[in-house]
A and B are shown apart, each in its own frame.
Chain A
Amino acid sequence: MKRFGQAVFGTVAGQIIFWVVVSVMLPALLEELFALNDWLSKPLGRLAEWKADSTLEGRLKFIVLFIVYASPIAVIAGFIASRLKSREIEAAMPPYRSRSNYERLIADVKETVSSRDAANELKAEKINLLFDALIEDVCHLFQVQRTGVRAVLVINNRGRHKLTSWRWGRACTPDQDRMDYKAIDKFLETELTYPTWEQVKSHFDHTDSDTLLFIRNSGKLGLGCLIAIENSIDLEAHLQEWEHIVRPFTMLGHMDKLVRFVVNYT
């Protein structure tokens, strides 16, 4: 069935045949539907012919006619009201603004990892603070609990087939660890800097995360970060804000000293 669908919609010839068949068949089908006119008119015809002689019958006829006329008006009014309400809500909710000053935090990380005098613990702490701020933003933006978020940092360890990884946040089992890395495989194969993955539980049956977000630098991988969120989130509504937040993080992989520090930190 899937191959048939691909053959029809995936090729120009298939699409032409499809539209020819539709344009020929649709008018014929509509004409056939006109045969239903008599059937559809019958209840209304009966209603029109109904001689409501007694008071009770008159009231009943009025109620039936009221329902017939009022129902479509109520549906249309309800639709318009819901559209207006959703516009009002959208207008009332200001776009999410990050509480963190990432420019300052990243400048701080850059300065500290470049400093020969700074202790390794301080450098690691600055990196922790930066990704803590990112997790905090994820929690506020997508309305999730901090206990439901885990971050996994992957750093290119100079060699072509080797990475170094840091993980913090929500605890996980070795199985979950493996699933996180399998998800990172998929993200790296997209060859894009901030791919997302929703409804992950339908791919990995036993995973503890239903939404995964990934950020990496462009070009050769320097630094990537997986954000694993326990539940599903409304990504559609916050996609633009998310893009705004991740932008500075897609630059971190180009900071060689940061990459080298994480690789050598044990």
Chain B
Amino acid sequence: MFVSSKKSARLRLRIASQSTIRTASGRELVVAEIKTNKPIPPASHGTVRLRGKLQ
């Protein structure tokens, strides 16, 4: 009878592994594998200006 309105968990990115490689030009590049706890939502074209402390 009661519908659960549990709020979905926030998206979280977590570093799974990280390594530093040097490119042919001698530039240092940090390559990382990132895991996410849920699928990344698709985006539409536009912008928003976030400011200061967020919820």
Q: Which residues of A contact B (CB under 8 A)?
A: 119, 121-122, 124-125, 128, 154, 156-157, 160-168, 177-178, 181-182, 184-186, 188-199, 202-203, 216-221, 235, 243, 250, 265-266
Contact call A216/B43, Cβ cutoff below 8 A: yes
Which residues of chain B are near A217, meaning CB under 8 Å? 43
Contact call A265/B31, Cβ cutoff below 8 A: yes
Contact call A125/B33, Cβ cutoff below 8 A: no
User: Which 5 pairs from chain A and chain B are nearest by CB?
Assistant: A121-B24, A163-B34, A197-B50, A181-B13, A167-B30
Contact call A177/B15, Cβ cutoff below 8 A: yes
Given the complex of chains A and B, what is the CA–CA distance between A157 and B32 in angstroms?
Answer: 11
Residues of B in contact (CB 8 Å), total: 41
B14 within 8 A of A: yes
B6 within 8 A of A: no
Given the complex of chains A and B, what is the CA–CA distance between A197 and B48 in angstroms?
Answer: 8
Contact call A164/B32, Cβ cutoff below 8 A: yes
Within 8 A of A (CB), among B1-55: 10-16, 18-19, 21, 23-25, 27-54
Contact call A128/B45, Cβ cutoff below 8 A: no
Which residues of chain A are near B34, meaning CB under 8 Å? 154, 162-165, 181
